[in-house]
Amino acid sequence: MGNNIGTFHILLADDDADDRQFFSEAISELRMEHKLSLFKDGKELMDYLEHPDTQEADVPHILFLDLNMPCKTGLDCLQEIRANSKFKDLSIAIYSTSSSEKDIEETFIGGANIYIKKPNDFSKLKKVIKDVVNINWQFHTSGLNMETFLFSI
């Protein structure tokens, strides 16, 4: 899964409009050649992912997933996605305000790849996105452990 295979497709599911705006602004300021799709809750995200038109080749590369969302929570989405082998190559980054151990533990067990605590500084946000996109996921997933799971900015 390299940058050379078509455009890098990034998804963000977050019910907070401001956060979605910060995110897309950061992506555009980074001048990255990436496709970004935004979803305002878990249901919308799952509807998109499970749409029959979505081919395996179209499966996005990375999903930034907020936890606290109406209808379907981030944890629900995580479990549904990980239950579907079609999305086995999809990297999931939890993107939440919460830093509670309970949330970190549950998402780690649920199969998320990384846990990002939402930063309170725009420049930090840009750095996080840049770093996460550039991570060699193959390498990262092979050494799964709780310490590296929580992404430190």
Interface contacts to other proteins, rule CB under 8 A: 16, 18-19, 22, 97-98, 100, 118-123, 125
- Nearest residue to 48 (alpha-carbon basis) of 103, 18, 9, 106: 9
Cβ 120 to other proteins, closest distance in Å? Answer: 4
User: Which residue, 24 or 97, is less far from other proteins as judged by CB?
Assistant: 97
User: Which residue, 16 or 44, is less far from other proteins as judged by CB?
Assistant: 16
Cβ 2 to other proteins, closest distance in Å? Answer: 32
d(CA 153, CA 148): 12
Cβ 150 to other proteins, closest distance in Å? Answer: 13
Neighbouring CB atoms inside 10 A of 99's CB total 11
Report the relative pairing of strands 114-117 and 62-65 from DSSP bridges. Answer: unpaired
User: Which residue, 56 or 147, is less far from other proteins as judged by CB?
Assistant: 147
Largest CA distance in the chain: 39
Cβ 1 to other proteins, closest distance in Å? Answer: 30
Cβ 118 to other proteins, closest distance in Å? Answer: 6
Contact 50, 87 (CB under 8 A): no
> Could you identify the residue written with the tokens 């977050």?
14
Contact 29, 41 (CB under 8 A): no
User: Which residue, 41 or 113, is less far from other proteins as judged by CB?
Assistant: 41
User: Which residue, 56 or 121, is less far from other proteins as judged by CB?
Assistant: 121
